[in-house]
Amino acid sequence: MAIRNCRKCNRIYADDNFDLCPICRNTDAEEFKLVKDFLYDHPGSDVQTVSEMTGVDTKKIIRYLRDGKLEISGDSPNLLLDCERCGVPITTGRFCNKCVSQMEREFKSVLPSNTSDSNRSSARGSDRMYIADRHKK
């Protein structure tokens, strides 16, 4: 069993593919619920107001926006997020829809197609994984 240190509090915990220990994850979930409930009651509030009223740090609120957990309303003049690729103002996430579709096309053109994978597996006669041919006896 692997162990790691929490990114926030530096506690040691059993590695479960998260950067935060269970205690900090619970705290983060409670803070997100506070922000979500406040925005439900006060839609269109800006980040600074939400931070002041909930006690949640503005950096965390911006992280919730970047992670796609929250979205800035379309009629809000407070567009503080920009697409990381082209710089266009966006309401949630890291990239605008145009850049997402362009990146998808670029990734598809670089990745091998599924037909070549199926030909490779059928050539061996099964769908098993192999380390290397030289290790087979």
| H-run or E-run covering 89 | strand 89-90
pLDDT grade for 24, boundaries at 50, 70 and 90: very high
Distance CA 126, CA 71 (A): 46
| H-run or E-run covering 5 | strand 3-5
Q: What is the pLDDT of residues 61-117, one digit of tens each?
A: 989 988 888 887 766 655 678 889 998 888 888 999 999 999 999 988 888 765 545
Q: Is residue 61 exposed (0-12), middle (13-18) or buried (19+ Cβ within 10 Å)?
A: buried
Q: What is the pLDDT of residue 78?
A: 57
Distance CA 22, CA 38 (A): 24
From the CB of residue 45, how many other CB atoms can be counted at a distance below 10 Å?
Answer: 19
| Angle, alpha carbons 56-57-62 (nearest 5°) | 105
Q: Is residue 35 exposed (0-12), middle (13-18) or buried (19+ Cβ within 10 Å)?
A: buried
Domain that holds residue 125: 3-135
Over range 7-29, report the average pLDDT: 91
What is the count of structural domains for the chain? 1
> Using an 8 Å Cβ cutoff, are 5 and 11 in contact?
yes
Q: What is the pLDDT of residue 136?
A: 46
